Amino acid sequence: MFYEKYISKNKTFIDETWKKLDEKLSRTAVKSRDKIPYTTKDGVHDDHSGNPFMWTNGFWGGLMWIMYEATGNEEYKKTALRSEELMDKAFADVSKLHHDVGFMWHILSGASYRLTGDPASRNRNLIAAMTLASRYKENGGYIRAWNGTWFGRDNDGWTIIDCMMNLPILYWASKELGDDRFTQIAMAHADMTIRDHVRDDGSMNHIVAHDPATGEMIDTLGGQGYAVGSTWSRGASWGLYGFILSYIHTTEKRYLDTAKQIAHYFISNVADTDYLPLVDFRAPEEPVYYDSTAGAIAACGLIEIAKQVPEHEQRPYIAAAIKILKALEEKFCSWDENEDSILQMGTEMYTRGIHKPIIYGDYFFAEAIAKLRGSEFNPWLK
């Protein structure tokens, strides 16, 4: 099989990178145990445990679960459990929660429940799933993204491509409760995303505004990318990974086809930049802004696509995933003991937060390397 051939050809890279990940993370797991990091300042993890509503707060604990599952090192488990505990503050005011509860809890409490069987973790994940389901708008068949306003505009009726990654918690809730309401919502949202976000060439709209009364699409916004009509690369990677996850959960071929369509667009757009994704695939040539996180997320999705397609289709997906990960490791990873983060050169959005370490970069980079080592533990899948 092409998949296995590529893995064995790249075994040295995979094993050496994993060793470096484990060496570094086993130190930071202890050092940053009481924090929920987002980035680093002067090499030291910052701490967002005081703001439990932040959409990125699940990644540190999620990363710890990936490492624990692969190594059995109890230090990782202790930090993951501590992270879960710190996140409980969010349940004191659920009105402040938003659609990113999948990112926040499924890879943290969902993973915890799978690995420890703790009913308290199951309960946390169910609260998150029910919160997400409650954001469903029947008119238009979509999940509302945020609350209030965004850059001064009322965002009632807005959907964002990122939400494809929040759907796995709904598929999980349906299986856990034997109740397909959650899956119906997830599939309605995925179908809306195909209709309103994914363009014919596999590029996509980051934000779509729907008429809150009728559900009709009325506008698209540039969001975190360069401009309206451009393609924010992390948005593309959320779509790529999100659709293959929806396919694995539902076996609906249209989700596989959409994941492949986005993958082809993504791969063709990194080929000319040495497999290091630019922040936006349709930005002007200058300035050159990269987003390493888009590469790590896309690599995870490409590996999953390669595992789903017949043997003769596997090559472009697994080859691109490995090229991206090698490029990230060579150019953008820091193995320096004095720097708590690993993947550098992430970017929040085209206009802000350029070239910095961001916690989900480390999370997806580790998830991808763990997959290549043969781990079947995918926190988004169960």
Which positions lie near ligand GLY, rule CB under 6 A?
55, 162, 224, 234
**Is 100 a residue of the active site?**
yes
Which one, 206 or 210, has the nearer CB to ligand GLY?
206
Between CA 300 and CA 297 the distance in angstroms is 5
Q: At closest approach, how far in Å is the CB of 294 from ligand GLY?
A: 9
> 93-99, long-range: CB within 8 Å, 24+ apart, which pairs?
94/127, 94/131, 95/147, 96/53, 96/147, 97/53, 97/128, 97/131, 98/53, 98/55, 98/135, 98/145, 98/146, 98/147, 99/132, 99/135, 99/143, 99/144, 99/145, 99/146, 99/160, 99/163, 99/166
Between CA 202 and CA 298 the distance in angstroms is 14
Which one, 165 or 333, has the nearer CB to ligand GLY?
165
| Catalytic hit among 100, 280, 291, 340 | 100
Q: Name the phi and psi angles at 158, rounded to 5.
A: -90, 140
Q: At closest approach, how far in Å is the CB of 241 from ligand GLY?
A: 12
Distances 14 to 22, 63, 178 between C-alpha atoms, Å: 12, 17, 38
Contacts of 70 (CB under 8 A, 6+ apart): 18, 370, 373, 375, 377
Place of tokens 């309206």: 228
Which one, 241 or 317, has the nearer CB to ligand GLY?
241
Between CA 327 and CA 311 the distance in angstroms is 25
Q: At closest approach, how far in Å is the CB of 297 from ligand GLY?
A: 9
Which residue is at the shortest CB distance from ligand GLY? 162
* Amino acid (1-letter code) at residue 375: S
Burial group, residue 115, by CB count within 10 angstroms (0-12, 13-18, 19+): middle
Q: At closest approach, how far in Å is the CB of 280 from ligand GLY?
A: 13
| Catalytic hit among 162, 196, 280, 291 | 162
Which one, 162 or 196, has the nearer CB to ligand GLY?
162
Which one, 162 or 362, has the nearer CB to ligand GLY?
162
Q: At closest approach, how far in Å is the CB of 17 from ligand GLY?
A: 24
**In the 3-class helix/strand/coil scheme, how is 321-364 assigned residue by residue?**
HHHHHHHHHHHHECCCCCCCCCECCECCECCECCCECCHHHHHH
Q: At closest approach, how far in Å is the CB of 348 from ligand GLY?
A: 6
Q: At closest approach, how far in Å is the CB of 116 from ligand GLY?
A: 28
Between CA 204 and CA 235 the distance in angstroms is 8
Which one, 144 or 234, has the nearer CB to ligand GLY?
234
Which one, 3 or 146, has the nearer CB to ligand GLY?
146
List, by residue number, the catalytic residues: 100, 162
